[in-house]
Amino acid sequence: MTRPMNIAEKILAAHAGLDEVKPGQLITAKLDITLANDITGPVAVREFKKIGAQKVFDKTRCVFVPDHFVPNKDIKSAEQVKMLREFAKEQELTNFFEVGRMGIEHALLPEKGIVTAGDLIIGADSHTCTYGALGAFATGVGSTDLACGMASGETWFKVPETIKVEFNGKLNKWVSAKDLVLHLIGDIGVDGALYQVLEVGGNVIKEMDMDGRFTFCNMAIEAGAKTGIIAADEKTEEYLKGRSIRPYKIYTSDEDAEYVRTIKYDVADIEPTVAFPHLPENTKPISQVGEIEINQSVIGSCTNGRLSDLKIAAEILEGRKVNDNVRLIVFPGTQQIYLEAIEKGYVQTIVKAGGAVSTPTCGPCLGGHAGILAAGERAISTTNRNFVGRMGHVDSEVYLASPAVAAASAILGKIASPDKL
């Protein structure tokens, strides 16, 4: 009889061809998808060639999404994408996404059905853990590990322990997935789940839409986690229906599966939450934020650039104006999201309010382009990190929050809940 296992262990065992695995065990496992972007991809390509590899293991499963410095911000970034473009052509890759077809990678791959339930995925980007929202095991790796994965179709893992997290109760007004994950990180710290899996559940997660689940799993890495996972259910299957380009498999944890610990929250105790500089763990409920004026509000990214995020921002901005002292920058996660936001009138509302809407890009999130902060400036942002210099000058400050709080703050010129409008 095999030992009881949780979702993460079952996925790893299946891909390693084993009946069971246990935490701490070293395994070699077959990969479903490898992913890189315009920053990490060129390094992986160079290493791929350095080890003498001739062909990728599967031209349909090696994915390149230039999204960080695109549209190309300078000559160097143009050269980076050119390298990927040439490699993709040489290898006849199915999934290379150029400007006009690309999106922010962690919004694009689920939308295209390239990643699916039960997958084992590595990406040379730390927020690859986003795909755990589909019931997949997805994690970030270095570009060298990625190069070996691209060549061989497999990589090694140390099986992680799993923390079970449950959110139950009824959400307060304006509280979203972003607030829940910030609350968790504030509670356990940026190293609170180091090299562990966050398996997230409870009635609140069960009732949460896929957009919210992606947001939550996206930030698992900000607690140090190897990945975040939400059990696939009817909502997951509805999302995958007609979308997933490969057969998928749903894994659920055994009732007596082992967890290193269990954390439970009553969401009635959680307010809209803001992470103060310079770590995502520096959280405060909105009622304790105080008077903090801002210069910029950013709504978008692989964390909160989905349609429901733009919807809530547009509803708050409707009939109102962005504060004269604030620059509001909104960037949809994909071209499809952008198009739907136009069709539903969200983009028009944002522009009429005084916001600037960008083509999909990671630019502002990592301080790359299209929204750099000057010394002394403060931004409220729906992105995932607020490290020193993350969005520009080392003397700037980034506060993390939900789209609702970011939109309200853009109007009021200071960090505030929509209740203050």
What is the Cα–Cα distance from 199 to 219, expressed in whole angstroms?
Answer: 13
Handedness of CA 83, 84, 89, 91 (dihedral sign): positive
Q: Show the tokens assigned to 174.
A: 């304006």
What is the Cα–Cα distance from 34 to 8, expressed in whole angstroms?
Answer: 18
What is the Cα–Cα distance from 174 to 190, expressed in whole angstroms?
Answer: 24
Establish whether the linkage from the previous residue to 71 is cis, with ω within 30° of 0.
yes
Nearest to 48 by CA among 148, 155, 140: 148
What is the Cα–Cα distance from 318 to 353, expressed in whole angstroms?
Answer: 7
pLDDT value at residue 174: 97
In this structure, the chain runs to a length of 421
pLDDT value at residue 303: 98
Q: Which residue has the tokens 């001739």?
A: 54
- Beta-strand relationship, 261-266 and 227-229: unpaired
What are the beta bridge partners of residue 266?
A: 168
Domains and CATH numbers, the chain: 7-264 (3.30.499.10), 273-420 (3.30.499.10)
pLDDT value at residue 2: 84
The values of phi and psi at residue 72, to 5°, are -45, 125
* pTM score, whole prediction: 0.96
What is the Cα–Cα distance from 201 to 94, expressed in whole angstroms?
Answer: 35
pLDDT value at residue 171: 97
Q: Show the tokens assigned to 329.
A: 């920058």
pLDDT value at residue 253: 98
> Residue 28, SS3?
strand
* Residue 344 CB neighbours (<10 A): 14
Cα–Cα distances (Å) from 125 to 40, 349, 381, in that order, read: 7, 33, 20
pLDDT value at residue 94: 97
Q: What is the DSSP letter of 96?
A: B
**Type of residue numbered 40:** T
What is the Cα–Cα distance from 396 to 401, expressed in whole angstroms?
Answer: 17
**Tens-digit pLDDT profile for the chain (421 aa)?**
789 999 999 999 999 999 999 999 999 999 999 999 999 999 999 999 999 999 999 999 999 999 999 999 999 999 999 999 999 999 999 999 999 999 999 999 999 999 999 999 999 999 999 999 999 999 999 999 999 999 999 999 999 999 999 999 999 999 999 999 999 999 999 999 999 999 999 999 999 999 999 999 999 999 999 999 999 999 999 999 999 999 999 999 999 999 999 999 999 999 999 999 999 999 999 999 999 999 999 999 999 999 999 999 999 999 999 999 999 999 999 999 999 999 999 999 999 999 999 999 999 999 999 999 999 999 999 999 999 999 999 999 999 999 999 999 999 999 999 999 9
**Type of residue numbered 348:** Q
What is the Cα–Cα distance from 18 to 414, expressed in whole angstroms?
Answer: 54
